[in-house]
Structure 1
Amino acid sequence: MKQSKLIEHLAVPRGRFPHAKVAGEFIYVSGTSSRLPDNSFVGVKVDEFGTTTLDIAAQTQAVIENIEEILRNAGSSLNDLVQLTVYLVNMNDFGAYNEVYGRFFDEEGPTRTTVAVHQLPHPHLLIEIQGVAYRPQP
């Protein structure tokens, strides 16, 4: 059994794909960012002169919280994650990202791969995460 999940109160995906796809006992979470439903971003400040400040820690926390909400809507939780792939625009952000990540997960958490990418779908994005969760059927 396969079921797509599009969560109304989260940011609408920037393409024709769901937030997650449930396939049997697995939940595949699409790449998730810190984008909010109003298309603004957590971790972004623009001053009156247009100078932009991006905060990897705030974005990392928002991404993980968005994934948590996606999983909750699929009847799951962060505890059910088995694998994450993290895309960082700048590996110099690894330390701050890793510190926030450690507030949610430890060595009992999901496997993880972190890679650097040239860019993400918006210039204000520093991080995107996709994942797979395992939710046994009763």
Structure 2
Amino acid sequence: MTKAYLLTDKARPRGRFPHARRAGDLIYVSGTSSRLPSNEIVGADADEAGTVTLDIRAQTEAVIGNIRDILRGAGADLKDLVQITTYLVSMNDFGGYNEVYGRYFDESGPTRTTVAVHQLPHPHLLIEIQAVAWAGRKDAP
């Protein structure tokens, strides 16, 4: 069984791909950012002078929330994650990312890889996470 999930209450992907795709008992979540359906980016604020402040903690929190919502739309939840790949624009943000990540997962959680990348699809994005979840329960759609 394969099925693609494109959620109407999430930011539309910036390309022709779904938020997630189920293949048998696995759900593959596309790279997810802190972008809202309005295209605003959580954790990116500009003051009156136009100075932009980027917050890795706020962005990480929003990314995990977006992944949770996508998984729920596909019949799973964060507890079903088996693997996460995180892309950070700067490893200087690793500590803040790790702090928020630790609020959701511990050593019994998903396996994880974190890498630094040159850039993400918007200059205000500090983080993107791709994930895989197991949804072998009989009640999953």
Q: When the two structures are superposed, what TM-score results if normalisation uses the length of structure 1? A: 0.99
Aligned residue number for residue 57 of structure 1: 57
Q: Which moved further from structure 2: 117-126 or 44-53?
A: 44-53
Aligned residue number for residue 125 of structure 2: 125
Q: Structure 1 stretches of 5 or more lacking a match?
A: none
Q: CA deviation at 1:137?
A: 4.0
Separation (CA, whole Å) in 1 of partners of 2:125 and 2:100: 16
Aligned residues between the structures: 138
The DSSP-based 3-state class of the residue aligned with 1:31 is: strand
Q: CA deviation at 1:124?
A: 0.3
Could you report, residue by residue, the CA deviation over 1:57-113 in whole angstroms, capped at 9, with x for unpaired residues?
A: 000000000000000000100000000000000000000100000000000100000
Aligned residue number for residue 28 of structure 1: 28
Separation (CA, whole Å) in 2 of partners of 1:67 and 1:113: 16
Separation (CA, whole Å) in 1 of partners of 2:68 and 2:108: 17
Aligned residue number for residue 103 of structure 2: 103
The DSSP-based 3-state class of the residue aligned with 2:21 is: strand
1:12 aligns with 2:1: no
Could you report, residue by residue, the CA deviation over 1:3-26 in whole angstroms, capped at 9, with x for unpaired residues?
A: 000000000000000000001100
Q: Which runs of 4+ in 1 moved over 3 A?
A: none
Q: CA deviation at 1:48?
A: 1.2
Q: CA deviation at 1:49?
A: 1.1
Aligned residue number for residue 39 of structure 2: 39
Q: When the two structures are superposed, what TM-score results if normalisation uses the length of structure 2? A: 0.97
Separation (CA, whole Å) in 1 of partners of 2:93 and 2:28: 26
% of aligned pairs identical?
70
The DSSP-based 3-state class of the residue aligned with 1:129 is: strand
Separation (CA, whole Å) in 1 of partners of 2:137 and 2:126: 35
